Homo-oligomer: A and B are copies of this chain.
Amino acid sequence: MFTKIHPTKRKILDKALELFNENGLANVTLRQIALELEISQGNLNYHFKKKEELIEFLYFELFQQGEENEREIRNFTIWDFLQSYIAGMEQLYTYRFLLLDMEQVFREVPSLRDHFISISKFRDEAYTKAYLLGAACGVFKPLKKEELKIWVETIRLLGDSWITHAHRYGITEKAAVFENHLGYFEHWLRNYYMETTKAELNKR
């Protein structure tokens, strides 16, 4: 995907991402992005006419990566699961303004909220499938339907809010943000492990 993008377009996207992440979506203008890159406003506008287009491109870029990531969860072990979760965290962190300023993202490009809602069903299905596969492979305890629903809702809530949660408590350095969430996440997930899974984890 990346190789097909015009180098200037890529440079604009990377700078926009950097500034959105650092300064907040509402506080960054196209003018600033052009100035920082030392390119003309016209050159920038040739690639992106409006800020909305930039936000939209970055939003769908993150989601495409998420889809590529999903396909990998197959032969289910707890290591695969945790590794795939951490890979997802890496991707989200790169595009973190989308989570930190999600309300503003949806205010500036309202159609993205519709997309986000429409895919939440598929996200829940993917989480449900992962849990059931993990249970079939003896990694997770079996859960009643209602409990599985809560598990799915919780993992979605945690997956959506970990960066915001760390940031609001002053944790902003990447390694610390990851450590903060993973400590909490693994402790929560442990409630769903089979005893054999716990033993497997303790071995390493």
Residues in chain A within 8 A of chain B (CB atoms): 23-27, 100-104, 106-107, 113-114, 116-117, 120, 146, 150, 153-154, 157-158, 160-161, 164-165, 167-170, 184, 187-188
Q: Are B187 and A146 in contact (CB under 8 A)?
A: yes
Identify the closest chain B residue to A114 (Cβ). B170
State A188–B27 Cα separation when bound (angstroms).
38
Q: Which residues of B contact A154 (CB under 8 A)?
A: 188
Q: Are A157 and B165 in contact (CB under 8 A)?
A: yes
Identify the closest chain B residue to A165 (Cβ). B157
Q: Which 9 A-B pairs have the closest CB atoms?
A: A26-B26, A117-B170, A100-B103, A161-B161, A24-B107, A102-B168, A150-B187, A117-B169, A153-B184
With A150-B187, A161-B157 known to touch, is A168 a contact of B106 (CB < 8 Å)? yes
Which of A25, A103, A169 neighbours the largest number of chain B CB atoms within 10 Å of its CB?
Answer: A103
Return 26 A-B CB contacts under 8 Å, by A number: A24-B26, A24-B104, A24-B107, A25-B26, A26-B26, A26-B27, A26-B104, A27-B107, A101-B103, A102-B164, A102-B168, A103-B164, A103-B167, A113-B168, A116-B168, A117-B169, A117-B170, A150-B184, A150-B187, A150-B188, A153-B184, A157-B158, A157-B161, A160-B165, A161-B164, A164-B164
Other A-B pairs beyond A114-B170, A154-B188, 13, CB < 8 Å:
A101-B103, A101-B104, A103-B167, A103-B168, A113-B168, A116-B168, A116-B169, A117-B170, A150-B184, A150-B187, A157-B161, A161-B161, A161-B164
State A100–B168 Cα separation when bound (angstroms).
12
